[in-house]
Amino acid sequence: MSAAKQPIGLKQIGDTVIVYLEDKKKVKFPKPVEAFDKLVALINQFNMWFRAKDRMDIGKLLDKFTQPIKTDEQQQQEKKVQTNRIQRKKIEKKIKTVAQESIPVEPVVELIRDVPGIKVHSDGTARLEGFGFPLPKFILQKFREWHEAGEDLTPLRNFTLLLAANPNPDVREDILPWLLKHHFMLTPNGYVVAYRYVNIKEQGGDRNLLEAITRAYANVRSRRRATKEFSLFKLKDGTYTWDYNHKQPEGSKVVGIVQDLYKGLDKQAQPVYTDNHTGKFRIKLGEVVEMDRTKTSASRADCSYGLHMGNSHWVKTSSYGSELLLCLINPADIVNVPSGEWKFRCCQYYPVARIELEDIDKLEAEQLRVFDGDYATLEMETLIKSIRQDPTLKEFAGKRVDKKTPLIKQLRELKGTQSIRTWSTHLPEEDQQAILESRVALIA
């Protein structure tokens, strides 16, 4: 491994920091008051991407930390500044405490008053009807705010059920405030809408035709119309349009019925994308992309191990690839609560469409309902298939997934099995089963 590709190590022993550089060089210095977090972030970033610029920035910071001992006058001045900073923080803390004491804390019963589907438990916590896990205060506040504003509570309820299955307690407590603060959208089924850049790995077939089929199908389904009643047409200028009852525009060519075209997408050569960092992932629309959760990082640092997803601001200011994809993320698969404002990491996502940058601000969650339902169905079918293939389940081993039997019935048959319990081990078995049945009910 070349020196440029060697990771940089960092260790803190007491008040001393040791940085292990290339060729076993060590740099020791007292932990600085400022910029230490920046150094940690830069080292994590360098170890992930091995960019020369990050290495130069690390060197500049280390030069500052290891400068010659300052004069007595300089040290006294810095001490004075530090003292003033501490006093200011104490004053700010006192003001905040007084402000909090002057505002009565609303009891849980007040937070959920008149909010449908939520009840106060005997221990004073609030819970969704039919479920045993307590809800964080922020989620309760959002339920009340959305209810008072007359908004549909379905996306928030479904998001909450999925989030409850996340094994990271920090994510369960803090990810929703972060997502809403940074303008991430929730779909009706509770998924998070996010974006990421990719590169083209394999071109595939007629890209314009593939996108036209996908757009037509999504548009018709979002209007709750039957796709078999619409046809796709190619106009003289090479663009595509679709119309109800197969009404053909003058001078156009019939491509086919939208329903049949969409069902046949798998037979056409779809483009294959890949990530900009490793170039190893094979990313196709409508197919789940995943990474072993144990190999991801729960650190709050912006750059670390995991599948990166960003908001509209992130994709407007970054360029880690040539193509922009719109993706859905199950909140159970989010692995960290970021310290930054633009992106988070997950261990699985579902790419649904290629999107132009200028179209992001026009997007509404309701437009994603068709893909939302496809992902929910895929998740449940995948789960049941994996359970039935579990060799430890003798009564189900070797059996195929019976698509004629409703998924909810299959889940009830599997209640109490070890595979269900390991789906989300921090939850009681009853809650795991109730969440799964609730998810299946969305697609039944």
Q: What is the pLDDT of residue 176?
A: 95
Residues of the chain with pLDDT under 50: 69, 98-105, 394, 396-401, 416-422
Distance CA 195, CA 351 (A): 9
pLDDT of residue 350: 94
User: What is residue 441's predicted lDDT score, i.e. its pLDDT?
Assistant: 74
Task: Note the pLDDT of residue 142.
Answer: 92
How confident is the model over 345-382, as pLDDT tens digits?
999 999 988 888 888 877 776 667 777 888 888 887 77
What pLDDT is attached to residue 267?
56
Model confidence, pTM: 0.67
Instruction: Report the pLDDT value the prediction gives residue 403, as an integer from 0 to 100.
Output: 52
Predicted local distance difference test score (pLDDT) of residue 102 = 41
In the chain, domain spans: 7-66, 192-372
Give tens-digit pLDDT for 92-118.
565 555 444 443 445 666 777 788 999
